[in-house]
Amino acid sequence: MKYGNMEQVTFNHSCLSNHVKKMDEKTRFEKQDILQEVKYVPTEFKNNQKFKAESQNNKKDDTIFLYVSVIVAQMLVAVAGANLVWTSPALIKLYSNDTQINPLRRPIKTVEVSMVAGIPSLLGLAGSFMLPKLSDVIGRKKYLMLIGLGTLIAGVALAFSMEIIYIIISKSLLSFFLSGAWTIIPVFVAEICENHNRAKFGCFLGLFHEIGHCYAYVVGPLFSLKNFTLIITAPALVFLMIFVIVPESPIYLLSKGKEKKCKEALRKFRNNKSEEELEADFVQIKETLKGRAETNKGNVLDLFRKRENRFALLLALLPLLVQSFSGISILMTYLAPVFNAAGTSISGDIVAIIISIVKISSFTFTSFVVETFGRKRMLLISATGSGVPLLVLGLYFYLQYINSALLDSMQWLPLFALLSSTLMFSIGLGPVPFALISELFQTDLRAASSAVINTLFNIVMFSLTACFPLISEAFGIHCCIWLFSSCSFLGAILIYFFLPELKGKSFTEIQEMLKMY
């Protein structure tokens, strides 16, 4: 019995041991399965992914306050656009012998016309280079308020000027202030927007510039020179009255260590978000500014010290140079004489108004679809699409140059070609390049980069505008237009191979991408 019991106990112990062993093996395998699913993820990567995911989840409709802020800021751009074409209706009055129409009480002289057109352009170059850095010192909002006040005073002075010297001084001051506004407004707009709406509102710069053109073309013939000048300057007064309620750029505030004011500004611009969502946006802005040296003042020389900044400068200049050498802006400057030279029955002034309306419509369309289609794709379509009708327009002027008999049946061609090229230009090359400038640079370099790029752009435009009539007279208008067409096609190739797509990318992601170039 004792032996039998011992066997039974031994057997039971063996069974129990086997059972425990199987349970241990099962548990061990389960633990191994669990351990195999655990993966190491670096903290920095997790944080970046977290911010990106939160940013995507925070995507909401744009608030009315954001729309108002952007539109009010662009009122200075509308004044700049109207001021640019001020000479078109103004010179008609200044050439008049009627003292009731002409404030000079005598017809303006040719040399005086050159001074009225040329000297303000030079002062505009100085303004675009000298003024923007002030925005890094006093802030984007205070800077724009100061520029708006200067614009209003200069515009009123121009309206009441009755001597040629006062007209030149007033218009030069107007160009000086407005050029400063042109460089910082896209920076301010980019800094108050989010990744998903930055390009849309960035395109508003070109849209309101064209609205200013059309505004001046329509109002100019209807009023005296004084009233006309006051009317096109009036948006500056509206700007000063409303912009006072717009907060400072959140990115600028945080770059100066003002976290509380940054959160307050975010709360106003994005008042349809919860506190948790706003906190996520705040953290993302903080990530954007992370690593920026406090002693870095963002000088012009800093644009050339780092490799990524040099690439950003080249990439920002590329679409602007393609825009310039496509020739659409040059043709708009000489639109009336060029169209009159085509020998059609339609007045160049009427064509100017028609084309302005087409550009406003196209710019509006582009601003709302650019985030869907992407910056690069819109630029490619625009550059290629602009080149084709310019090629056809050049053919028309060549047939005119050789006195071809085919011209009588092609009187519709110049208007069709101009409208087509303007339409294609306006869906990409017109509005998009200026939106790119403020996206490619760090916060402390945006003012300096904008000043350098706009100065170079204005020099190129000034050179092309001055050379166009000389080359046209020497070789024919068709040669100039064919050159513009060739530059459009070449620009499309360069954009395709070198310009990256920035759609949906944060400022931090763009900087990381530039470092990999």
**DSSP states of 143-172 as a string?**
HHHHHHHHHHHHHHHHHT--SHHHHHHHHH
Radius of gyration in angstroms for the set of CA atoms belonging to the chain, rounded to a whole number: 31
| Selection from 192, 454, 497, 152 nearest residue 323 by Cα | 454
Per-residue model confidence (pLDDT) at position 340? 63
Per-residue model confidence (pLDDT) at position 20? 44
Structural contact between residues 319 and 381, judged by C-beta atoms closer than 8 angstroms: no
**Rounded distance between C-alpha atoms, residue 132 and residue 218, angstroms:** 32
Token output for 493: 């190739």
Per-residue model confidence (pLDDT) at position 343? 61
Structural contact between residues 116 and 122, judged by C-beta atoms closer than 8 angstroms: no
Question: Who's near 328: CB < 8 A, 6+ residues apart?
Answer: 386, 421, 422, 425, 429, 430, 484
Per-residue model confidence (pLDDT) at position 513? 84
| Selection from 332, 331, 326 nearest residue 428 by Cα | 326
Provide the residue-wise pLDDT of the chain in tens; the chain has 517 residues.
444 444 444 444 444 455 444 445 544 444 444 334 444 344 443 444 444 444 445 567 789 999 999 999 999 999 998 998 888 788 778 888 888 888 888 988 878 877 887 788 778 888 888 888 899 899 999 999 999 999 999 999 999 999 999 999 999 999 999 988 988 998 999 899 988 888 888 888 888 988 998 898 888 888 999 999 999 999 999 999 999 999 999 999 999 989 999 999 999 999 999 999 999 989 988 887 875 544 455 667 778 888 888 888 999 999 999 999 998 877 776 666 666 666 666 666 677 778 888 888 888 888 888 888 888 999 999 999 999 999 999 998 888 888 887 777 777 788 888 889 989 998 889 888 887 877 888 877 887 888 888 888 888 887 887 788 788 888 888 899 999 999 999 999 999 999 988 887 877 788 888 887 6
Token output for 193: 């927007």
| Selection from 378, 85, 381 nearest residue 210 by Cα | 85
- DSSP for residue 220: G
Domain over 302-517 is classified CATH 1.20.1250.20: yes
Token output for 115: 């001074």
**Considering the domain 62-246 in this protein, what is its CATH number?**
1.20.1250.20
Per-residue model confidence (pLDDT) at position 197? 84
Q: Give the DSSP per-residue string, 427-480.
A: TTTTTHHHHHHTTSS-GGGHHHHHHHHHHHHHHHHHHHHHHHHHHHHHH-HHHH
Instruction: Indicate yes or no: pTM above 0.75.
Output: no
**Rounded distance between C-alpha atoms, residue 480 and residue 394, angstroms:** 8
**Rounded distance between C-alpha atoms, residue 346 and residue 443, angstroms:** 49
**Rounded distance between C-alpha atoms, residue 185 and residue 183, angstroms:** 6
At 189, the amino acid letter reads V
At 151, the amino acid letter reads T
Q: Give the DSSP per-residue string, 300-328.
A: TTHHHHSHHHHHHHHHHHHHHHHHHHT-H
Sequence ranges of the chain with CATH classification 1.20.1250.20: 62-246, 302-517
The burial class, CB within 10 Å (0-12 / 13-18 / 19+), for 114 is: exposed
Per-residue model confidence (pLDDT) at position 269? 94
Question: Who's near 5: CB < 8 A, 6+ residues apart?
Answer: none
Name the percent of the chain in helix, strand, coil, to the closest 5: 80, 0, 20
